Amino acid sequence: MTATQYARLARAEARKLFTTRSIPAIFAAAIALTLVSVLLQAAVAGQQGTPRLGTDDGTYRLLKFGVVPVLVMLVTGILAAGGEFRHRTIIPVLLATPRRSRVFAVKVLVAAAAGLVPITGRTTLRRDIA
């Protein structure tokens, strides 16, 4: 299989993944939850015994909501794999590319790249705060 064929397969996988309404909704919800959590933690920092901003404890409290991007990656992988069987799109994919290992490898790479979107946002946020 050539690099062009891998690129076509990856483009098709990404299109399948992002044409559903659930993936953009999950990403938006994850980003919104993370931002709301950080803003609320920052608003109450230094009040009623909570650590002030700029301290190690204060920074930790701001960034402890990091489980959301991990859950988004998990849901993205589940939707990528489960959607194929539910909508019966796996049959044309395997007819076009009969080697399952190649299909699986491309599917994992596309889902991992899609799952990096919330993690990249979290890392950027961490750099801005710290």
SS3 assignment, position 39: helix
Find, among 64, 62, 66, the residue nearest to 128 by Cα.
62
Burial class (CB in 10 A: 0-12, 13-18, 19+), 33: middle
The predicted structure's pLDDT at residue 127: 46
Mean pLDDT of 57-82: 74
Of residues 122 and 46, more confidently modeled? 46
Write the DSSP string, 47-104. STTPPPTTSHHHHHHHHTTTHHHHHHHHHHHHHHHHHHHHTT-HHHHHHHS--HHHHH
The predicted structure's pLDDT at residue 65: 65
Mean pLDDT of 85-103: 81
Q: With contact defined as beta carbons under 8 Å apart, do 80 and 107 qualify?
A: yes
CA distances to 91, 92, 121 from 88, rounded to whole Å, are 6, 8, 33
Range of the domain at 77: 3-129
pLDDT at 86 over 80: no
Specify the range with the lowest mean pLDDT, choosing from 75-79, 107-111, 120-124. Answer: 120-124
The predicted structure's pLDDT at residue 130: 46
- Report the domain count for the chain: 1
The predicted structure's pLDDT at residue 46: 78
Whole-number Å distance between alpha carbons of 21 and 39: 27
pLDDT at 128 over 60: no
For residue 125, what pLDDT band results from cuts at 50, 70 and 90? very low
Torsion sign across C-alpha atoms 41, 46, 51, 53: positive
Mean pLDDT of 5-28: 81
